[in-house]
A = this chain, B = another copy of it.
Amino acid sequence: MTAPRRVRLTPKARREQLLALGVRMLATRTLDDLSVEDLAEEAGISRGLLFHYFRNKQEFHRAVVSHATEQMISLTEPDPSLPPLEQLSAVLEKYLDYVLSHYEVYAYLIRGHARTDEEVFAVVEETRVTLANRVRDNLHLLDLPNDDISYLAIRGWLAFVEEVVVKWVPEQKVSREEVLRLFASSLPAVIAAAH
C-alpha cells in the first residue's frame, strides 16, 4: 500500500484555488466576515502559507473581489449567435443568477459599506465601466443611438439594475420573470428617454 499522494499545485494554480474558495465563501458572508484564518482552515493549509500568496487581509480581499467580478463579467458574456433581444435577456438572467448566489457580498459592495477600502471600490467601479462599454458596443444591435447621452443613460441603467436587484432579493414581492422583464425593457426605454 502507498500513502495517498497530495497533489502538488503550481503557485498560480494554488492562488486560483484560494481565490475561488474565497468567492464561494462570500456567497454566505460579507467581506468583513471573510477572515484569512477561515480561508486557511477551509483550504486545509497553514495561515503562514496563505500569507505567502496574499501579503495581508486587504490584499486578499482585493484579490477575491477582482476574481468575483471577473467571473461575473465572463459569465455574462453575450452570445452573438442569439438575436439581440434574446442576447440581452440571457445576459440579464445569468447576471441575476450570479447575484442570487453571491447576494451578501454583492449587496455589500454595491451599497458601498464603510470599512471597505478604496481599492475594492475601484475594482467595483472598473467592473461597471467594463459592463457599460459592453452595452455601448452592442447598442447598434438594438437599433439604439450610440452617443454621449446614451452612455450616461447606460451608466444610469446599470445603477438602476444594481439597486433593483439589491432591493428585490430580500423581499421578492414580484416574480423573477417580472424583474428580468423590467431589466431588459428598461434599457431601450431609458435610451429612448434620453433622445
A140 interface contact, C-beta 8 A: no
Distance in Å from the Cβ of A114 to the closest Cβ of chain B?
5
Chain A, 48-98, CB within 8 A of any chain B CB = none
A192 interface contact, C-beta 8 A: yes
Distance in Å from the Cβ of A123 to the closest Cβ of chain B?
13
A163 in contact with B155 (CB, 8 Å): yes
User: How many of A's residues come within 8 Å of B, CB to CB?
Assistant: 38
A193 interface contact, C-beta 8 A: yes
Task: Say yes or no: A186-B156 contact (C-beta < 8 A), given A149-B178, A173-B148, A174-B148.
Answer: yes
A157 interface contact, C-beta 8 A: yes
Chain B residues within 8 Å of A117, by CB: 114
Q: How many copies does the complex hold?
A: 2
Chain B residues within 8 Å of A160, by CB: 156-157, 159-160, 163, 190
A182 interface contact, C-beta 8 A: yes
B152 in contact with A167 (CB, 8 Å): yes
**Assembled-state Cα–Cα distance A159/B179 (Å):** 16
A21 interface contact, C-beta 8 A: no
CB nearest to A179 among chain B residues: B152
Query: Which A residues are within 8 Å of any B CB, using their own CB?
Result: 111-118, 121, 148-149, 152-153, 155-164, 167-168, 173-174, 178-179, 181-182, 185-186, 189-190, 192-194
What are 10 contact pairs spanning A and B, CB under 8 A? A114-B118, A114-B121, A149-B178, A153-B182, A155-B164, A156-B167, A159-B162, A159-B163, A182-B194, A189-B189
